Copies of this chain bind each other. A is one copy, B any other.
């Protein structure tokens, strides 16, 4: 009954037991929100002083950010914040499509009854949030990520969960942040989520995969159009 405490994934919690954890968490947010601008160079000593830690923990933090694809590092030459070009974002969505498509397929095969119930419950909460907040879809976005992560967990594939939640998740958040001004279409997304859960609960893996891939590739189309519009202003 106390396994819930141990279950928290280290990359998600902010309470961080170690200095490197805390600095990594802060830097991660700084990069995603743009406080550390894209392409800017990272100087270890400066950042270390700025965050009140030694270079050791900071180096570890940077290495973890590298694993999240948030910084690019070259030996002896230093690290730079990743530049999120349209091409890069396209790459991210492609990988997402592949990984989450497999997620949905496996989830249909291996999901536990309890997890199905929890998914339906989650979607109900989403619907309420949409009705209440109407225009303010920020919470919906967080919930959206939650939804996708839960599907991955339902697949019972630990490597998939790790790849998505630890390695790709932050990059996805960064993409979202750039196209956050979108009016979005939470209702449509919710409907698609429902279809996916429905397919999964009916154990139709093939359909679940197709729906999930269409869902993600659709999201990319919307995001892409937004980027093009931004280019024209």
Binding site for B on A (CB under 8 A): 10, 17-18, 21, 56, 59-60, 63-64, 66-67, 69, 75-76, 88, 91-92, 94-95, 97-99, 101-102, 106, 157-160, 162-163, 167
Contacts and interface: CB of A to CB of B under 8 A. Distances in A.
- Copies of the polypeptide in the assembly: 2
A39 B10 CA distance: 20
A184 B92 CA distance: 35
Contacts of A99: 95, 98-99
Contact of A69 (B88, B95, B162): B162
Q: Which of A21, A64, A67, A160 is packed against the most chain B CB atoms within 10 Å?
A: A67
B63 A10 contact: no
Contacts of A160: 91, 94-95
Nearest to A67: B67
B159 A76 contact: no
A67 B68 CA distance: 9
Contact of A158 (B63, B76, B91): B91
10 contacts: A10-B75, A69-B162, A92-B159, A94-B159, A95-B99, A95-B157, A98-B101, A163-B163, A163-B167, A167-B167
B101 A69 contact: no
A94 B167 contact: no
B63 A163 contact: no
A151 B213 CA distance: 21
Contacts of A63: 60, 63-64
A21 B63 CA distance: 13
Nearest to A76: B17
A69 B163 CA distance: 10
Given A63-B60, A63-B64, A159 B95 contact: yes
A97 B60 CA distance: 32
Q: Which of A75, A94, A160 is packed against the most chain B CB atoms within 10 Å?
A: A94
Contacts of A17: 75-76
Given A10-B75, A64-B63, A159 B69 contact: yes
